[in-house]
Amino acid sequence: SVCYDMQSAAAGEWVVYLQNTSATKQLVVSASGINSVEGSRCKLHFVTGTASAGNSLTPTNLNKTRDSNAAAATSREGGSEATGIAGLTSEACIDFAYITATGHEQFRLDDRLRLGQNDAIAIEYDEGTGGDVSGVIFFYFE
């Protein structure tokens, strides 16, 4: 899984990025939840480009006691004070979520989203007056 926390997201900013770097396996996104301090709309996209800015994240292996392998994935979160991830271009919108103030929503994935080698997704803070955005993306490899 990868947990992210962006402070003061602004409309149009990328708040989290996840890329499959495995040469042999597909990355399967099983679920993704998002929280927002302000009422907002967030979009999940397939993206291209090289993610920069923000903060690098290290995914957590949920099979900790049985498997210490690191996930073959690259991830970033937006930084603080409206410094989102740069360098990305949307290929297609996958899903979107409307989030009430201090609310939580989930993207409708249920193990359907699969990323091949070097494929990537990102979540955009699409509409809202700004505010902290956080969440988690659960994934596994097949």
pLDDT of residue 63: 78
For 77-90, the DSSP string reads E--SSS--BEEEEE
CB 115 within 8 A of CB 20: yes
The model's pLDDT over 58-81, given as tens digits with 9 standing for 90+, comes to 998 887 676 667 788 999 999 876
**Mean pLDDT (the chain, rounded):** 91
Rounded to two decimals, the pTM is 0.93
Q: Which residues contact 113 (CB under 8 A, 6 or more apart)?
A: 28, 29, 94, 121
> Which residue is listed with tokens 């073959």?
72
pLDDT at 120 > cutoff 90: yes
Taking the CA of residue 57 as centre, how many other CA atoms within 13 Å lie in the half-sphere pointing to its CB? Answer: 27
